[in-house]
Structure 1
Amino acid sequence: MNQPYNGMSATLMEGVAWRKSRFSNPSGNCVELAELPGGDVAMRNSRDPEGAALIYTRSEIDAFVRGVKRGDFDDLIA
């Protein structure tokens, strides 16, 4: 795999294991995450698996997950 960068096609990320939440719905409207070589984390839209992927550092993912657990984004859900 080439050096990952924000916006690169997820299809170029060969050999990574994409996964989604156990809470995702059957229609597939969710995000998928994959650990990249070197420790960064890629995120893609499950509705467009060949589309662009966003790349985050471990500390960015950690901050996001902690914010979700703390309820920082509860206003975004019905």
Structure 2
Amino acid sequence: MDEVRNGIPAPRLRDAVWRKSSRSGARGNCVEIANLPGGVAAIRNSRNPSGPALVYTRDQLDGFLTGTKHGESEELQS
């Protein structure tokens, strides 16, 4: 696999198995995630599967999800 970094074109992640929530709508405006070797995960926009993928460690994703569940992203809302 190529070097994995943020903003990597998703097609370069050849072995990635992309999945999205079963709660996603039929419009195709979903976030997809793929587990990658080395304990990292890639995230992409399902509307642009050839676009960039953002890569995070599991700890970073867990921290983000925990924070959003506790309202830590409220300052982003305007």
In the superposition, the TM-score normalised over structure 1's length comes to 0.85
How much does 1:73 deviate?
Answer: 4.7
Q: Give % identity.
A: 48
Task: Give the Cα–Cα distance (whole angstroms) in 1 for the partners of residues 68 and 19 of structure 2.
Answer: 18
Q: What amino acid is the match of 2:37?
A: P
Task: Give the Cα–Cα distance (whole angstroms) in 2 for the partners of residues 42 and 14 of structure 1.
Answer: 12
The count of corresponding residues between Structure 1 and Structure 2 is: 77
Find the residue that maps to 2:52 and give its secondary structure.
coil
- What residue is the counterpart of 1:12 in the other structure? 12
Q: Identify the range of structure 1 (38-47 vs 60-69) with the bigger mean alpha-carbon deviation.
A: 60-69
Task: Give the Cα–Cα distance (whole angstroms) in 2 for the partners of residues 75 and 27 of structure 1.
Answer: 28
Deviations 1:29-68 (A, max 9, x none): 0110001111101000000000000011111111122234
Question: Structure 2: 5+ residue runs without aligned partners?
Answer: none
Point out the structure with the larger strand share.
Answer: 2
